Amino acid sequence: MKRLIIAAIVIISMSVLSACAENGSSEEKTTRVIAAGSTSVHPYVEILVEEYRFLYPNHIVGIQGGGSSAGIRAVRNEIAEIGMLSRSLTEEEQDLWSVEIALDGLAIIIHPDNPVDNLSIQQVRDIYTRSITNWSEVGGHDARIHIIAREEGSGTRGAFQELVMADEFISQRAVVQNSNGAIRQLVSGNRDTIGFISLGLAEPQPGMSDVKALSLGGVAPTQKNVLSGEYELFRAFLFVSAKEPEPGSPTRHFIDFVLSDEGQEILMAEGLISIRGRVNDEED
């Protein structure tokens, strides 16, 4: 009897130890990666992370906003493994490792009730320097133009400055907002406003009023026209790290998912332009 009791105790003890070991190994397999930066890239990465968590429940990716420059600082200060950028690296940032994850057009948006459908890039520049101040000067109604812009350090503002403003500067009279969503909301609520946001976010959004994306020089802001080069306002979305992530590392695992066919299909479904599409277009 004593032997049976001892044997039972041994079996129970081994089972408990085995369960503890399994739980411990499960915890050890759980990985965490932080991605921080551009508010333009942020909503797309959120959607990617949802699918990623479903496929790889032990691989956790946290997301933080703050703008492209904040993403650079987060990577440099080792707060985040991945910086999200909606602009090119500056000369001072060339020491960082980077990879292009998608292309995004930059849309110039106005209220749907505004009769203007097309502007030249020069006209957009003149509006944002306040050389043009009334919609009647560009074929619209007689009303003062209210300009809305992103904050300094934003990748969206940086792309707009580079692609539209050239050597000119956005007027200090512009109403500054800290996200694409905020600009979209203001433009959708005022017929006399103009703003610039990610092309993918200019599409109809659930629960939000519509905006109208303007053609530029007669060219509509579409993915096809971005890929062909006819629509000139587009920028790359980047992931950056302090150094190239090691193969098999949690950071590399998530980046590889984003660059995979599945990841790229998710981004295309949300209105971005796959980097694979550009490669194929260049080969043709």
pLDDT of residue 153: 80
- Check residues 180 and 26 and name the one with the higher pLDDT: 180
Look at the chain and report how many structural domains it folds into.
2
Does pLDDT of 34 surpass 70?
Answer: yes
pLDDT band at 3 (very low <50, low <70, confident <90, very high): very low
- Check residues 277 and 240 and name the one with the higher pLDDT: 240
CATH number of the domain encompassing residue 268: 3.40.190.10
Residues 67 and 208 occupy one common structural domain: no
Q: Report yes or no on 18 lying in a domain.
A: no
Q: Report yes or no on 25 lying in a domain.
A: no
Residues 87 and 184 occupy one common structural domain: no
Domain that residue 110 falls in: 105-228
Residues 94 and 123 occupy one common structural domain: no
Q: Report yes or no on 183 lying in a domain.
A: yes
Does pLDDT of 64 surpass 90?
Answer: yes
Indicate the residue among 184, 209, 228 that finishes a domain: 228
pLDDT band at 283 (very low <50, low <70, confident <90, very high): very low
Residues 250 and 109 occupy one common structural domain: no
Tell me how far apart the alpha carbons of residues 264 and 176 are, in angstroms, rounded to a whole number.
32
Cβ neighbors of 188 (< 8 A, separation 6 or more) are: 111, 112, 208, 209, 210, 211
Mean pLDDT across the chain: 87
Cβ neighbors of 23 (< 8 A, separation 6 or more) are: none
pLDDT tens digit string along 118-169? 999 999 999 999 999 999 999 999 999 999 999 988 888 988 998 999 899 9
Q: Report yes or no on 17 lying in a domain.
A: no
Residues 118 and 204 occupy one common structural domain: yes
Contacts 24+ apart (CB under 8 A), 201-204: 201/40, 201/43, 201/107, 201/271, 202/107, 202/109, 203/271
Q: Report yes or no on 6 lying in a domain.
A: no
Longest dimension (CA), the chain: 101
Residues 185 and 121 occupy one common structural domain: yes
Does pLDDT of 26 surpass 70?
Answer: no
Residues 191 and 116 occupy one common structural domain: yes
Does pLDDT of 29 surpass 80?
Answer: no
Give the pTM: 0.69
Indicate the residue among 228, 252, 268 that finishes a domain: 228
Contact (Cβ atoms closer than 8 angstroms) between residue 148 and residue 195: yes
